[in-house]
Amino acid sequence: MWNGKQIFSQILPKGLYLEFPAQVCFKCDTCKKRDCEYNAYVVIEDGEMLQGTIEEQGIGAFKGKILDKVVKEYSPEAGAKFVDDFTRLAIRGVMKTGLSFGISDEDIPKTAKLQINNLLREAEETVKELIDAYEAKELEALPGRTLKETIEMKIMQVLGKARDQTGNIAGQQLGLENSAVIMAKSGARGSMLNLTQMAACVGQQAVRGERIRRGYAGRTLPHFDKGDLGADAHGFVKASYKSGLNPTEYFFHAIGGREGLVDTAVRTSQSGYLQRRLVNALQDLEVQYDGSVRETRGVVVQFKYGEDGIDSTKSDYSKPEAIHRIVRMVTGKEVN
């Protein structure tokens, strides 16, 4: 019988040494010990994977430490071969062990739901206390902020913390074996925030980074009292997507979602136009054989490319691993 680590080792090149903490660990985000009880610390010695879990941190498009090291220590061709091999291996893995995901994957027990309700009730009480202190002129303004800005920031802080705590409760109840948690933790698709909103609490809806305040004169909707600063009156959604939103929550959620749609449409055109202007501004610059950057008339723009002459595509950004790699290449020995 072969285990997963032995199978994965077959596609790793000989002579590869690597250690790094994976991001799948539930208890600690920066696990740095070899004896991690959650198997979240990756150790590869001489092309053999001894421990750890392979996920986004190891082979992701932007974070992939294994792929990065293979390309830098061996060659881009070796990196391409590794990606091909891993793709085939992953497809075979999925064929053997499917990963289904359905509506029941967000089910949490009644005890957890009670905990979540208690947490949200406590958060609402804290918000009421803050509003009372504000109305009694007892609230202390934050440095550089007015009293009105201070109360808004403090309320956002309390409600944001409440949503995160409800997410932690839901995450612990679902556990690491849950398909949705596996997807979020491994970096395949989605995040724990998506799961929090599905299973526990959607949270505060915001427009331009603030609570919703536009609507009728002195209030957001006609059935709230004028001047009401409470959580419900300014777009806090207590429900989860699974439990279902009430009409008021649904309305506030639509307001918050609208900003995302408009922002996406506006940003696309803005970034496209900015790129076009940059291309036009930089199209005459080229790096010469002497390492300087000049424009078409030969006028020097930089005496050394990037002021340091370093090719950023081959750089390790002065990390300790880069020094270890150079020493290993020169001496043929590992650095402790």
Per-residue pLDDT reduced to its tens digit, 96-136: 888 888 889 899 999 999 999 999 999 999 999 999 999 99
Mean pLDDT over 315-328 rounds to 67
User: What three-state secondary structure class fits 99?
Assistant: coil
As given in the structure block, the two tokens for residue 23 are 């991001």
H or E stretch at 335: none
List of residues 6+ apart from 221 with CB closer than 8 A = 215, 233, 248, 251
pTM above 0.85, yes or no: no
pLDDT score for 330: 76
As given in the structure block, the two tokens for residue 287 are 């790096």
pLDDT score for 320: 63
Residues 154, 146 contacting (CB under 8 angstroms) = no
Alpha-carbon span 187 to 131, nearest angstrom? 40
Q: For residue 319, give the amino acid letter.
A: K
Long-range contacts of 154-158 (CB under 8 A, 24+ apart): 154/130, 155/127, 155/130, 155/131, 155/211, 155/229, 155/231, 155/234, 156/204, 156/206, 156/210, 156/211, 158/123, 158/126, 158/127, 158/130
